Amino acid sequence: MSVLRRLLCLSLLLLSPFVQAEPRLTPFDAGSPAALRQANAGHAFVLVFWSVHCAPCFAEMAQWRAYRKQFPGIPIVQVATESLDESAAIVNVLDRYDAGTTGHRAFADDYAEKIRYAVDPAWRGETPKVYFYDREHKRIARSGALDPDWARRWFEQQSR
């Protein structure tokens, strides 16, 4: 391939909305919790961990989609606790339960205890595990299926 064609290709790629689509899965590593707090300084956000083994997690995908729509000012970051090596299994679940959404993440590698520790040393890997960060980034951790009434109240409070 000629240099000219490479340049042409590159410039078209940069211009093109067609190829700028966000990748389906991006990595979440031990540095990600701090990076998320920094990116959301002064703002509330929600960090959701789920697993391909976790049937209760699948059921909650629709709920997160609804909150995202109703409270667009509060970012919801969903992270699969399997490594990116398991992308096929993760995307298989997303296609079925959360088709069409972007911004999903997965553990960057299978050193899960290190990533979990960076999130919360007390988290033992059970899913769903959700962290609700308020504007001051004081957080509430929830394990297991979420009480939707409680979650809705939290979102409403943070949206005021």
Partner 1 sequence: MRSGLVAALLCASIATAQDHAAHGAAKTPRFALGSSAAVDGSGTIWAVHLDGGRVVVRQSAGVGQLWSAPVPLSAPEERIEADGDARPKIAVGGVNELYVTWTHPLAKPYTGEIRFVRSVDGGRTFSAPMTVHRDRQEITHRFDSVAVSQRGQVFVAWIDRRDAVLAKERGADYRGAAVYYAVSDDRGASFRGDFKVGDHSCECCRIAMRPRSDGGMDALWRHVFEPNVRDHALAVLEPDGAVTDLHRATFDDWRIDACPHHGPSLVADGAGTLHSVWFAQSSDDAGAFYGRLIDGKVEGQRKLGGGAAEHPDIAAAGNSVVVVWKEFDGNVTRLRAMTSDDRGAHWSERELGSTTDASGQPQLLQIGERFVVFWNTRADGLTLTGISR
116 vs 88: CA distance, rounded Å: 22
Distances (CA, A) of 91 to 9, 17, 57, 82, 104: 29, 22, 14, 11, 9
Smallest gap from residue 20 Cβ to partner 1 (A): 8
Candidate residues 47, 48, 128, 132; the one interacting with partner 1 per rule CB under 8 A: 128
* Residue 10 phi, psi (nearest 5): -60, -45
Alpha-carbon distance of 85 to 71, in angstroms, equals 32
- 95 Cβ contact partners less than 8 Å away, ≥ 6 residues apart: none
Q: Among 14-22, 40-48, 72-80, 149-157, which window interacts with partner 1 (CB under 8 A)? A: 14-22
Closer by beta carbon to partner 1, 43 or else 117: 117
Number of residues that bind partner 1 (CB under 8 A): 48
135 touches partner 1 (CB under 8 A): no
Answer yes or no whether residue 113 interacts with partner 1 by CB under 8 A.
yes
Q: Which residues bind partner 1 (CB under 8 A)?
A: 1, 5-6, 8-9, 12-13, 15-19, 51-58, 82, 85-89, 92-93, 96-97, 109-114, 117, 121-122, 124-129, 143-145
